[in-house]
Amino acid sequence: MTRPTWTATNRRKFLKQVGSAAIASVSIGGRIGSAQPSSATLSESTGAHLKGDATVLENTRPSSITGSRVIHINRRYLNIPIARKGDARLFQLSMNGVVQREFPLQLAEDFIDYWIFLYVSEFDGQTVTLSGPATETALSRMYQSDEIAGAATLYKERNRPQFHFTVRRGWNNDVNGPIFYKGQYHLFWQAFPFGVIPDNGFMYWGHAVGSDLIHWRELPPALRLDTLGSPWSGTAFVDHRNDGGWGKDALVLVFTAYDRISQKQVQCIAYSTDDGVTFTRFAGNPVVDSNRELGTTQTRDPKVFWYGPTRCWVMVLFEKDGMSFYNSTDLRSWTRKSHIQGFHECPDFFELPVDGDIGHKKWVLHGGSSSYLIGSFDGATFTPESSELRYAEGKNMHGEDVLYAAQSFAEMPNDRRVQMAWGRIAEEGMPFSQMLLFPTEFRLTTTKDGLRLLATPIKEIEELHLNRYAWSSLSAEDANQKLRQIAPGPLHVKAQVAIEKDTAVTIRYQGNSLATIQSGDFEGGRGSLEILIDACVAEIFVDGGKRYIIRETPLTARSQGLEFDLKRTGAIFNSLEVYEMRSMWSEK
């Protein structure tokens, strides 16, 4: 679970961009499932974190109004109006006097900026009470439906990426435990479905499924809050041997539970025996609680996998100042074996063949950012054999890495190593915020600089190709003339380029510079260039991933599309292909 520290300047910029909401610092006296309503203490604060500590935003005022509404549930969704600049206040959904859910809302009292929704079909045929600090008028505007509000324009919004995953409503951040399981891909992520500014004390595990890594169908949350707290980041795997005792081939989630009162972070398990439709918390949670031992609450984001040579389960866990490695044979009892300093949260850890040689493999360890180490692993200890390297570059408008909290898919067919990452980009004016970057496939390749981890777009991108334009032997000026016939929009560009020594080409889109590629980025000045352009984001892959550049693209009304700036007239493009892209949200 991501925990960047923001400066006051960055924080003000973020609030200005996504809408200056006010979220309360909430001290909860009760718990989910409690018959006693919890009390909320609202306080102002000048500090905030995007993740980690419970998010606290400014200008929160206590409300003397307490309202409630009784609702007989007979539809799938409860649609709720939201005001971007409204104060976020704590609401409860109760049934028979027992609190079923608690969540903060910027409930619109007057003007409605957008709508969010709650899944309520689990209460079908039951009567529930929704209560919180709101007027009767505001509560009355909520309504039940089998469609979410705005369904007619869903995935067609102006700033909605068309081939990068985004949630229908609310906020996403870290990718959690992606996995291929029983014929379909499962994608999980940190979700705040109640608005576009998150509160870390109320995060869920979002859940979607798909058949091809491209098209996704969003499902109800896999995990919500329980008595141990909010389910933060973690991993997914298949227990093929029933080591945990929850059933052969059960789909298991290991995650951090964050208690917003004590700030404790402990490691927990949930499992599914119905093919990932529902998940049950393990009654013996937590399975790892190292807070007291280490003298810190910074213990989170477990990555778990089976290690065959020593026949044990391995957990890589961020603890305090780096990554710890734990072992277990039953998934219930864990022993710390080693610790390596230097990486921060959200570990991914995997083995790859070197230059495609399955007889020669190395392990790759990275944390929340794209920094990584290459080394060896014996089931208990990781031994680095490289300096700290990076496989991606690019900052968002707040100066932070765009790529963050990536995870690779487990149980992949043909042992592919495919990863998806949180793209830290806020889409202006939308009822959702952030995205996932396009899936990339990893390989370990020997380069002139040594062994490197390279990322390239997955081959399945071709399923989204629509209109194709192709040319050969073009100068930059010729290429720009050809490109003017292609309107701005979702594009996939592939080129073979030749750049003279000590020269460079700048890639521009809608008048904004995306990247400058130097002749030295290619061996002998020749190589490949691949560009993905979507709403709000561009991803550029130089020479098969030797550079992977991510750029946030500013909102503009300019009509010009893709351009190349090169201060010479000779041929630069041996070949240039441009594909207009169909939406991933359209029917296959």
Beta bridge partners of 293: none
Cβ-contact 344, 367 below 8 angstroms: yes
478 is catalytic: no
Cis bond leading into 286, ω under 30°? yes
Cβ-contact 312, 329 below 8 angstroms: yes
| Number of residues in the chain | 588
Tell me how far the alpha carbon of residue 481 is from its chain's centroid.
Answer: 37
Tell me how far the alpha carbon of residue 342 is from its chain's centroid.
Answer: 22
Residue carrying structure tokens 């929340």: 368
Question: In whole angstroms, what is the distance from residue 177 CA to residue 359 CA?
Answer: 27
- Torsion, Cα of 36, 41, 42, 47 (10° steps): -120
- Torsion, Cα of 101, 103, 109, 115 (10° steps): -90
Phi, psi of 201 (to 5 degrees): -80, -5
**Alpha helices of 85-149 — where are they, by DSSP H?**
136-140
Residue 241's CB is within 10 A of a number of other CB atoms, namely 10
Question: In whole angstroms, what is the distance from residue 22 CA to residue 89 CA?
Answer: 9
Question: In whole angstroms, what is the distance from residue 567 CA to residue 503 CA?
Answer: 8
Name the active-site residue from 53, 87, 113, 174.
Answer: 174
Which are the contacts of 210, defined by CB distance < 8 A and separation ≥ 6?
184, 185, 187, 216, 217
Residues serving a catalytic function are 174
